[in-house]
Structure 1
Amino acid sequence: MELSKIIVSFFVLQFLLFQSPINAAPGNSNIFREYIGAEFKNVKFSDVPIHSDVEFHFILSFAIDYTMSSSSPSPTNGQFNVYWDTDNLTPSAVSAIKNQHSNVKVALSLGGDSVGGSSAYFNPSSVDSWVSNAVSSLTDIINQYNLDGIDIDYEHFQADPNTFAECIGMLITTLKNNGVISFASIAPYDDDEVQSHYKALWKSYSQVIDYVNFQFYGYDKETTVSQFMDYFSTQRSNYEGGRILASFSTDGISGLSPENGFFTACSELKSKGELVGIFVWSADDSKSNGFKYEKQSQALLAI
């Protein structure tokens, strides 16, 4: 080979090796996800409009490794119990919505903010015992409900970031290897303690995490479109290479709302090839307005 061609090949290889994934757009896709069942407002899967041209994920909220059998809730070291609206969101209801819509998958979310009016802490006795209990108890629930994936939404911690990373990383890995789930997501938000735990998990186990449900609605209610775009860019850096979804809340409490420019921001992301998908908190709150923003979100993703 001529010396000039060798030199060119060398620099091409250097370019490919040192290109940072964060500089490459992850690509648009049509994933729509929605949390459901946490607020016991009698919302049913069948209440929520489902566009045939999106990949639709319901996320049952929540399964928590706490028990309410005593006078106050207490942690169970990975033995999960169901805390969503089981009157309406039953195993038969899961089967029915999946049979009716081939584009629907259903997951469960772990942790959440609170249980029985108290904070729900991630509080393992040890990595091995927690993972063993979690794999066993969640496999039972997932099989009972015919679920497809899990979401990690712990928001309070009584364990260091490395312990959290090992417990959750090993849990996801084991459930996937056992064929119990086909996808997993994490749901961090902009808080120093929360981010330290999820970034440790991402550093060690990003290869088994399919989606980042970043809670952009955790930012201030006065968030502008420009600020939202900056926040999105920051989280792409924090979770480098991750499939980060845009998000809003229909409770109107915080974050960039649909009324104030959320869909403008999504259109900008889509034009840049960065709109992986959208998720919503939550179907419970959207029932009263006829799910109008769910319809708008899915219409945008389906284009």
Structure 2
Amino acid sequence: MSTTPSPPHWLSYSDQWMSAPPDASTIPCIDVFALCFLLLQGPWDNAQQWTTFTDAQRQQIKTAYNNAGIKLIVSAFGSTDTPTTSGADAKQTAQKFADWVKQYDLDGIDVDYEDFAAFQNGTAEKWLIDFTTELRNNLPAGQYIITHAPVAPWFCPNKWSGGGYLYVDKQVGSMIDWYNIQFYNQGDSEYTDCEGLLFKSSSTWPESSVFEINANGVDLSKIVIGKPATKQDATTGYMDPSTLAGCVKQAKAKNWDAGVMSWQYPRADNDWFKTVRSQSWPCGGGEEDES
């Protein structure tokens, strides 16, 4: 089993149905590819598609990805599932999901928990802490990746009765390899320029920009910037890739190195990441590139 990659991370989500993950040689600027989604009821979309291959077919794809330095993970829940509100048992769900990751030979799991009602009423945090603890018990650090994909406002201090993601991070942050933070779908003018994204978020969602989240105790190298690939991939929060590339350059100059995630492939493709990385961690188009 492979060890957890060090930052920066360049992650693309893949929910839109495909017959197979893209050939590793076509995505040299991406180094984590997330199959979506593993739901309470079982795998769906591209996570389900992964289960239809033979072990030999999966092994062939995984070997090619491994040789290219690309991790292949599954993303759980998404906007479909509300695990806390619907009464799912955190530990049992974690065990079931960990078993699935092992059975289907993936490098780890992304917890794309979007149970907004549970954050509103203060029940999300304990569920996430129990779930993450059990997940890590079953998927050892260094052998398997565990990431979370919270929306940025969940890091606002004094906004969530249960403490929000700042509390989750204090309790189980050491078990989470990084956060694929969704800096989108939070309002028309939220996180749409470098200032709001990196240094000072709006009064609607105070202290939820990259460096403010870091100032409130979250490891800077775990704060991955999440953005939609195109305007059709989110309602709000879109930045064109070249503008985002400038923000990434600014953040790097201040010692941030976490990386960028995007929703979703095939629009969040190699060209998108190549542009976003162009001013900071440039990557080539060829298989031999080693950035």
- Alignment partners' CA distance in 1, 2:176 and 2:214: 14
Partner of 2:43: 82
Partner of 2:11: 33
Partner of 1:279: 261
Match of 1:250 among 223, 229, 233: 229
Partner of 1:138: 97
Structure with higher helix content: 1
Identical aligned pairs, as a percentage? 17
Contact 1:35-1:61 at 8 Å conserved across structures? yes
Contact 2:180-2:226 at 8 Å conserved across structures? yes
- Alignment partners' CA distance in 2, 1:291 and 1:185: 22
- The CA deviation at 1:165 is 3.5
Partner of 1:188: 150
- The CA deviation at 1:256 is 4.3
Partner of 1:263: 245
Contact 2:128-2:168 at 8 Å conserved across structures? yes
Q: 1:86 to 1:214 in 2, by over 3 A?
A: closer
Look up the equivalent residue of 1:293 and give its one-letter code.
W
- Alignment partners' CA distance in 1, 2:161 and 2:77: 13
Partner of 1:61: 36
Partner of 1:218: 185
Contact 2:38-2:47 at 8 Å conserved across structures? no
SS where residue 77 of structure 2 aligns?
strand
TM-score (norm 1): 0.69
Structure 2 unaligned segments of length 5 or more: list them: 1-5, 155-159, 200-208, 284-290
Partner of 1:168: 131
Partner of 1:235: 213
- The CA deviation at 1:146 is 0.7
Contact 1:64-1:111 at 8 Å conserved across structures? yes
- Alignment partners' CA distance in 2, 1:96 and 1:194: 47
Contact 1:258-1:293 at 8 Å conserved across structures? no
Q: Compare CA radii of gyration and give the structure with the larger one.
A: 1
Partner of 1:18: none
- Alignment partners' CA distance in 2, 1:45 and 1:184: 22
- Over aligned residues, Cα RMSD in angstroms? 3.2
Partner of 1:147: 106
Q: 1:181 to 1:143 in 2, by over 3 A?
A: same
Deviations 1:123-171 (A, max 9, x none): 4758xx5313431x22332123211111111111447134223322322
- Alignment partners' CA distance in 2, 1:194 and 1:45: 42
Structure 1 unaligned segments of length 5 or more: list them: 1-27, 68-80
Q: How many residue pairs were aligned?
A: 248
- The CA deviation at 1:258 is 2.5
- Alignment partners' CA distance in 2, 1:197 and 1:278: 22
Q: 1:29 to 1:104 in 2, by over 3 A?
A: same
Look up the equivalent residue of 2:246 and give its one-letter code.
T
Contact 2:35-2:47 at 8 Å conserved across structures? no
Q: 1:162 to 1:219 in 2, by over 3 A?
A: closer
Partner of 1:112: 78
Q: 1:87 to 1:62 in 2, by over 3 A?
A: closer
Contact 1:153-1:187 at 8 Å conserved across structures? yes
SS where residue 17 of structure 2 aligns?
coil
Q: Does the alignment pair 1:95 with 2:95?
A: no
